[in-house]
Structure 1
Amino acid sequence: MKIIACYSNKGGVGKTATAVNLAYAFAKNGARTLLCDLDPQGASGFYFRVKPSAKLQEAQFFEDVARFTRAIRASDYDNLDILPANLTFRDFDVFLSRMKNSRSRLKKALKSVKREYDVIVLDCPPNISALSEAVFKAADHVVVPVIPTTLSERTFDQLVAFFRARGLKTGKLAPFFSMVQGRKTLHCETMARMRKSHKNLFLGCEVPFSTDVEKMGVHREPALRYAESRPAGRAYLELFKAVNARR
């Protein structure tokens, strides 16, 4: 079983759109896929028309395997299930801080369903916290959307520094440029500078700024579902191929 976290320590960069489209792409290509929404806002579940599960509280998420599995919902697509979030997930950090071996708890919970799924995609909240550390430990790959702007560059550098300070493998990081506007000089210069300063770290694909991505909230389905042949859809497909090829 492969665990892929879609994460950014900066909000508004296309993290949830990435998780939704990656999960859909894995499922469409035959992998038994679970999209696990760890963000209390529950946007991933919303895109797939799955209501939040009020029965799965933060303690049960980590300790009650039976309730964890019962909270999983089928989506409208073959091979794709959803573990929806609810507002109690906002207390994950408080709960984890009280637990022994807190960095291993998430991985242990996810392993309880390893016989059922080939891939688990995690949609993570945008912060660096106890939950984030548990995510970094559990994930095989951490897919990081980065808008090519100065502030996003700064927050990504902070993430890399955090990995190094905690002894985490930076090779887990799979950053890519998101919401790219190729006509902007700033975007082009930032991408060139970041690719040079983080050699061999950034994936080659770039997701453009597009209304097709913004319309996911209207359609309530992945952009790959209704815009596969358009620039954003093609970019998400290339992102899937790049992530899927990683070992």
Structure 2
Amino acid sequence: MRIIAFYSPKGGVGKTAAAVNMAYLASRENISTLLWDLDPQGAASFYLAGAEVVKGRKLSKLLEGKSPIARFIHDDVYPNLDFIPAHSSFRNFDIKLEHDEGHNVLKDLLAPLSEDTSLVVLDCPPTLSRLTEQVLEMADKVYVPVVPTWLSLNSWNQLREFVKDKKLGNKKLRPFFSMVDRRKNLHREILAQPAELLGAPVNAAVPYASVVERMGEEGQPLELLAPNSPAAVEFRKLWVSVRKDLWAR
């Protein structure tokens, strides 16, 4: 079982859209995939189901061992794609994890699924916290959307310093440009120097596009909603890199 996370310390950068589309693209290749929405705002539910929002369950029942993780899973949202929706109680995840410093709670929770699940995709809240540490520790790769602005680049550099300070492994971080608007001079200038600013970015630049916002309205991944759109093309490029990162031979 491979585990990837979509994370950014800065909100509103296209993290959830990327996580949902990667999970869907993986499932289309017959990879048994689980998407876990760890962000209590629950945006992934809208992208998967629109107005028919999938309801989550209380975190405490899972962490206290009163309910197995299988009961939190909504099976076959799409073929080969299962989903654990967020719940408002997920905002207390960090408080719960502070009492379990000896081991990685998230890894333990996912362990029973390893025989039936090939890929876990984590959609993470935009916080630098104990939950973030556990995600960075357990994930095989962490994909970080970066808007081509100086503020977003500063957040990226803060994340790299955090990972370095906590000794969590900088090589796990895989940044990619998101919400790109090529009409803006600054965006074009930053896109022209990816290696200097990001290190080893993924070769994908997801555009700022209304069709991505429509995912929440329509409740569909972009591959179903608008497969010929420039954004869908970039998400497919991102998936090619994810697949290569995880299963390169």
> TM-score range with shorter-chain normalisation?
over 0.9
Instruction: Quote the Cα distance in structure 1 between the aligned partners of 2:100 and 2:151.
Output: 34
Instruction: Quote the Cα distance in structure 1 between the aligned partners of 2:212 and 2:11.
Output: 16
- Residue 51 (structure 1) aligned with residue 54 (structure 2): yes
DSSP-derived class of the 1:176 partner? strand
Amino acid in structure 2 at the alignment position of 1:178: S
1:35-50 alignment runs, 5 A limit: 35-49=35-49, 50=53
DSSP-derived class of the 1:168 partner? coil
Of 156-165 and 38-47, more deviation after overlay is shown by 38-47
- Residue 145 (structure 1) aligned with residue 148 (structure 2): no
Instruction: Quote the Cα distance in structure 1 between the aligned partners of 2:43 and 2:88.
Output: 12
Give TM-score scaled by structure 1 length: 0.93
Q: What is the CA-CA distance between 1:180 and the residue it aligns to?
A: 0.6
**Equivalent residues of 2:175, 2:198 under 8 A apart:** no
1:227 corresponding residue in structure 2: 226
Amino acid in structure 1 at the alignment position of 2:204: C
Q: Deviations over 1:165-200 (max 9, x none)?
A: 11121110111000111121101222334521433x
Amino acid in structure 2 at the alignment position of 1:83: I
2:182 corresponding residue in structure 1: 182
Amino acid in structure 1 at the alignment position of 2:146: V
Give TM-score scaled by structure 2 length: 0.93
Q: CA RMSD in A?
A: 1.5
DSSP-derived class of the 1:109 partner? helix
DSSP-derived class of the 1:125 partner? coil
1:1-247 alignment runs, 5 A limit: 1-49=1-49, 50-54=53-57, 56-57=58-59, 59-64=60-65, 66-102=67-103, 104-199=104-199, 201-247=200-246
DSSP-derived class of the 1:127 partner? coil
List runs of 5+ in structure 2 lacking aligned partners.
none
**Equivalent residues of 1:62, 1:106 under 8 A apart:** no
List runs of 5+ in structure 1 lacking aligned partners.
none
**Equivalent residues of 1:48, 1:75 under 8 A apart:** no
**Equivalent residues of 1:107, 1:137 under 8 A apart:** no
DSSP-derived class of the 2:113 partner? coil
Q: Deviations over 1:100-156 (max 9, x none)?
A: 325x11111112211110000000001110000010011101011110001100000
Instruction: Quote the Cα distance in structure 2 between the aligned partners of 1:190 and 1:166.
Output: 28
Amino acid in structure 2 at the alignment position of 1:172: K
